[in-house]
Amino acid sequence: MNILRYKDNVQNRDAISLFSGAMGLDIGLEKAGLNVVVGQDFDLSCVATMRENGHNVIEGDIRGIQPSNYWISPAFPLGSHS
């Protein structure tokens, strides 16, 4: 499958980022054409960084997130914080 061709055919490019940290992965997703509409993390320093950089943020538990119409970008939580 040609990834670039697949990306160009995607109709809904909205994504939710879970365990976002400083949103490094999300920068790559945005460069690939996705629209990261919200990031999530439970680490307060990560949440503060995301807010300072102008991102929409969900702080804390992910169980209340309804992902129905979004791409999901789950980064792996760091072992030292899990």
pLDDT tens per residue, range 34-54: 888 888 888 999 999 989 988
Report the predicted TM-score, pTM, of the whole model to 2 decimal places. 0.66
Domain membership of residue 50 as a residue range: 14-62
Phi, psi of 23 (to 5 degrees): 70, 30
Residue 48 lies in a domain: yes
Lowest-pLDDT choice from 4-8, 19-23, 60-64, 66-70: 4-8
Total domains present in the chain: 1
Question: For all residues of the chain together, what is the average pLDDT?
Answer: 75
Asked if 26 contacts 20 with a C-beta cutoff of 8 angstroms, the reply is yes
| CA–CA distances in Å: residue 64 to residues 33, 40, 46, 59, 60 | 26, 11, 19, 11, 10
* Within-domain flag for 39: yes
* 72 within domain boundaries: no
